[in-house]
Amino acid sequence: MIRTADRLKNVTLSASAAMTDKARELRAQGIAIVSLSSGEPDFPTPPHAVEAAHRAALDGDTKYPPLGGTPALKAAIQRKFKRDNALDYALDEILVANGGKQIIFNAIMATCNPGDEVVIPAPGWITYADIVNLAGARPVPVPCPENNRFKLRPEDLAAAITPRTRWVILNFPNNPTGAACTAAEMRALAEVIERHPDVLVLTDDIYEHLIYDDFAFCTMAQVAPQLKDRVLTVNGASKAYAMTGWRVGYCGGPRALIAPMSNVLLQATGGIATVSQAATVAVLDGPQDLLAKRAALYRERRDLVVRLLNEIPGIRCHTPEGAFYVFPNIADCLGRTTAGGRRIDSDTDFVTALLAEAHVAAVPGSAYGMSPYVRLSYATDTEALTEGCRRIGAFCRALS
């Protein structure tokens, strides 16, 4: 008999991954699925990144990599932080790992003990809480309801911090809501954190370049330089450059934090693939105009989806400032029955029936800590988005 470790008891399978896998299974059976569950850009990796990886492989750059990133990539990240965020990090204040997820994992595992607390705005990416649980610490969700535009209020943050608080995790633009913070809003949060000198801040900036309507991105270490020595600024190549499969995440932070994170990385995986690092150097140092062009296309998709969803009875959809998700409220669909005879009592019931009857894959808001909502990704083509919304509309209009 195989016994699993107790530390896994509170760790769940990603709801978005589960729905994406289910959609793949149904597609394999010949069912025409519209998948709006995956947070993965549909754009190709920039050609110059692929060329750089190919060239690195041909040149023999295929040996064990340096633990925390190649000198070339760390230097490119250093330039990126300076160019995009006005942040100066020394090379030994930068760490590269297998995606942003591993950066976050390394940070929590390197700093949290049982009994420590990590403040996480909700709704938020479920992986934050799972990593905290895996470390034996306790996630502390702070509700950020729609009437607050899904943003963390300073007074709510202040109420959540206790003597046990080790970290505050911020993710703006946010997954799943797309909410983003202004510089003034970020500074107001910084004022709260400044009163607690033992609290660290992790900013997950993975959606930095996916921001719309002249909304200006900002990050904590940038707007509150007095906190820079206890802020970990996390980013990666996955979302902005459509490089999800290359698995490159990186961060900048104080040496006293980067060193133990590097130790966790050493024991967990070691350094990341050399060809992936070469590709990331190419995109960070290469032309950046594709970012604005792709963001403009995402904005068009966002506007289309928000408009179509708000035309559907029983659905109310806000307009997000960034990322590539919408988080519509489905409260008026609850307590009703589908055309196939399924009763809808929760957002989980809604997405389960939607997949089974309308063949549209979505993710329940409960997976991110807030109901009754669903997360829909518009990181796909306009034809699929239009058809997906048409099916959702037909599904909702058939509720009785």
CATH number given to 6-44+290-397: 3.90.1150.10
Query: Which pLDDT score, from 0 to 100, does residue 80 have?
Result: 98
Q: What does 342-380 look like in DSSP terms, one character per residue? A: -EE-SHHHHHHHIIIII-EE-EEGGGGT-TTBEEEE--S
Is residue 141 classed as helix, strand or coil in its secondary structure? strand
User: What mean pLDDT is predicted for residues 73-90?
Assistant: 98
pLDDT band for 166, please (50, 70, 90 cuts).
very high
Tokens of 34: 């519209």
* Residue 164 scores a pLDDT above 90: yes
User: What mean pLDDT is predicted for residues 321-341?
Assistant: 97
CA gap 281, 240 in Å, rounded: 14
User: What mean pLDDT is predicted for residues 143-166?
Assistant: 98
Q: Report CA-CA distances (Å) from 299 to 50, 290, 321, 341.
A: 26, 14, 9, 37
Tokens of 371: 């109901």
User: What mean pLDDT is predicted for residues 96-102?
Assistant: 97
* Residue 16 scores a pLDDT above 80: no
- The tens digit of pLDDT for each residue in 248-306 reads 999 999 999 999 999 999 999 999 999 999 999 999 999 999 999 999 999 999 999 99
* Residue 130 scores a pLDDT above 80: yes
Are 6-44+290-397 and 63-285 in the same CATH fold?
Answer: no
Domain boundaries, the chain: 6-44+290-397, 63-285
Segment holding 262, helix H or strand E: helix 255-268
Which residues are within 8 A (CB) of 52 and not within 5 positions of it... i.e. 6 or more apart? 278, 279, 281, 282
* Residue 20 scores a pLDDT above 80: no
User: What mean pLDDT is predicted for residues 134-149?
Assistant: 97
Q: Report CA-CA distances (Å) from 339 to 204, 233, 342, 395, 400.
A: 41, 48, 7, 8, 8
Q: With 0-12 CB in 10 A as exposed, 13-18 as middle and 19+ as buried, what is 269?
A: middle
Q: Is the dihedral of CA 220, 221, 227, 228 positive or negative?
A: positive
Vertex 249, ends 40 and 289: CA angle to 5°? 65
User: What mean pLDDT is predicted for residues 363-382?
Assistant: 96
Which residues are within 8 A (CB) of 39 and not within 5 positions of it... i.e. 6 or more apart? 16, 175, 239, 324, 325, 377, 379
Query: Which pLDDT score, from 0 to 100, does residue 268 have?
Result: 93
Query: Which pLDDT score, from 0 to 100, does residue 21 have?
Result: 79
Query: Which pLDDT score, from 0 to 100, does residue 25 have?
Result: 83
Query: Which pLDDT score, from 0 to 100, does residue 27 have?
Result: 80
94 and 71 Cβ atoms separated by less than 8 Å: no
Distance of CA 167 to the CA centre of its chain: 17
User: What mean pLDDT is predicted for residues 192-200?
Assistant: 98
CA gap 68, 89 in Å, rounded: 14
pLDDT band for 159, please (50, 70, 90 cuts).
very high
Query: Which pLDDT score, from 0 to 100, does residue 11 have?
Result: 80
pLDDT band for 187, please (50, 70, 90 cuts).
very high
Tokens of 40: 């993965």
Query: Which pLDDT score, from 0 to 100, does residue 312 have?
Result: 98
* Residue 28 scores a pLDDT above 90: no
Distance of CA 317 to the CA centre of its chain: 20
pLDDT band for 29, please (50, 70, 90 cuts).
confident
Least confident of 10-24, 113-127, 197-211, 333-347: 10-24
| Average pLDDT of every residue of the chain | 96
* Residue 12 scores a pLDDT above 80: no
CATH class of 63-285: alpha beta
CA gap 397, 368 in Å, rounded: 26
pLDDT band for 336, please (50, 70, 90 cuts).
very high
Report the predicted TM-score, pTM, of the whole model to 2 decimal places.
0.95
Torsion from C-alpha of 359, 41, 368, 184, nearest 10 degrees: -140
Segment holding 294, helix H or strand E: helix 289-310
pLDDT band for 31, please (50, 70, 90 cuts).
confident
